[in-house]
Chain A
Amino acid sequence: MTQAIGVLFDGIAYGSLLFLVSLGLSVTMGLMNFVNLAHGAFAMAGGFVTVVAMTRLGVPFLATLPLAFLATAAAGAVLERALYRRLYGASELDQVLFSIGLTFMSIAGATWFFGASQQPVHLPGFLQGQVTVLGVDLGVYRIFLVAAVAALTLLLGALLSRTRFGAQVRASVDNAQAARGLGIDVDRVFSVTFALGSGLAGLGGALGIEVLGLDSSFPLKFMVYFLLVVVVGGAGTLKGPLVAALLLGVLDVAGKYYVPQVGAFVIYAAMVVLLIAFPAGLFGKRR
Chain B
Amino acid sequence: MRPVEIAFWLVPVAAFFVLPGYLVLGSQILIVSLFALSLDLILGYAGIVSLGHAAFFGVGAYTAGLLSVHGWGEPLTGVAAAAVVAGLVGFVVSFLVVRGEDLARLMVTLGVGLLLYEAANRAAPITGGVDGLSGVVMWKLLGIFPFDLNGRTAYVYSFAMLAIFCWLLKRLTRSPFGLELRAIRENARRMPAVGAPVQRRLVAAFTVGAAIAGVAGALLAQTTQFVGIDTLGFNRSAELVIMLVLGGAGRLYGAIVGTAIFMIAQDYLSGINPVYWQFWLGLLLVVFVFFARGGVMGGLEAIAARWKRR
A residues lining the B interface (CB < 8 Å): 29, 33, 35, 83, 86-87, 90, 92-94, 96-98, 100-109, 111-112, 220, 224, 227-228, 231, 261-265, 268-269, 271-272, 275-276, 279
Contacts and interface: CB of A to CB of B under 8 A. Distances in A.
21 contacts: A93-B43, A96-B241, A97-B242, A98-B290, A100-B242, A100-B282, A101-B282, A101-B283, A102-B286, A105-B279, A107-B278, A108-B282, A109-B279, A111-B278, A224-B110, A262-B122, A264-B118, A265-B115, A265-B119, A268-B111, A271-B111
Interface stretch (B14-22, B100-108, B301-309): B100-108
A269 B278 contact: no
B111 A108 contact: no
B215 interface: no
A48 B245 CA distance: 32
B82 interface: no
A227 B84 CA distance: 32
A272 B279 contact: no
A111 B270 CA distance: 14
A29 B121 contact: no
A104 B289 contact: no
B276 A108 contact: yes
A108 B293 contact: no
A265 B115 CA distance: 6
A96 B49 contact: yes
Interface in B227-260: 234, 238, 241-242, 245
Most A Cβ at <10 Å: residue of B111, B241, B290: B111
Given A111-B275, A265-B122, A276-B100, 20 more contacts: A92-B102, A93-B241, A93-B245, A94-B289, A94-B293, A97-B285, A98-B290, A100-B242, A101-B283, A101-B284, A101-B286, A105-B282, A105-B283, A105-B286, A112-B275, A263-B121, A268-B115, A269-B115, A272-B111, A276-B108
A92 B106 contact: yes
Interface residues of B, number: 41
A97 to B, nearest CB: 5
B165 interface: no
Interface of B: 43, 49, 51, 96, 99-104, 106-108, 110-112, 114-115, 118-119, 121-122, 234, 238, 241-242, 245, 275-276, 278-279, 281-286, 288-290, 293
A199 B284 CA distance: 27
A275 B107 contact: yes
Given A96-B106, A101-B283, A263 B96 contact: no
Contacts of B106: 35, 92, 96
Contacts of B278: 104-105, 107-108, 111
A261 B125 CA distance: 13
A276 B101 CA distance: 11
A276 B99 CA distance: 9
A263 B122 contact: yes
A29 B122 contact: no
A126 B51 CA distance: 44
A43 B281 CA distance: 22
A106 B108 CA distance: 25
Count chain A CB atoms within 10 A of each CB in B121, B122, B285 and give the residue with the most.
B285
A106 B283 CA distance: 10
A279 B98 CA distance: 12
A97 B115 contact: no
A101 B239 CA distance: 11
A279 B104 contact: yes
B293 A279 contact: no
B301 to A, nearest CB: 19
A272 B276 CA distance: 35
9 nearest A-B pairs in the assembled complex, by CB-CB distance: A101-B285, A104-B282, A105-B282, A108-B279, A108-B278, A101-B286, A272-B111, A101-B282, A268-B115
A92 B49 contact: yes
A127 to B, nearest CB: 34
A271 B107 contact: yes
Contact of B290 (A33, A86, A263, A268): A86
A275 B108 contact: yes
Given A104-B279, A276-B96, A98 B115 contact: no
A101 B291 CA distance: 14
Given A272-B108, A275-B100, A279-B101, A265 B118 contact: yes
Contact of A83 (B102, B103, B286): B286
Contacts of B289: 87, 90, 94, 97-98, 101
Nearest to A100: B238
Nearest to B245: A97
B122 A227 contact: no
Contacts of A101: 281-286, 289
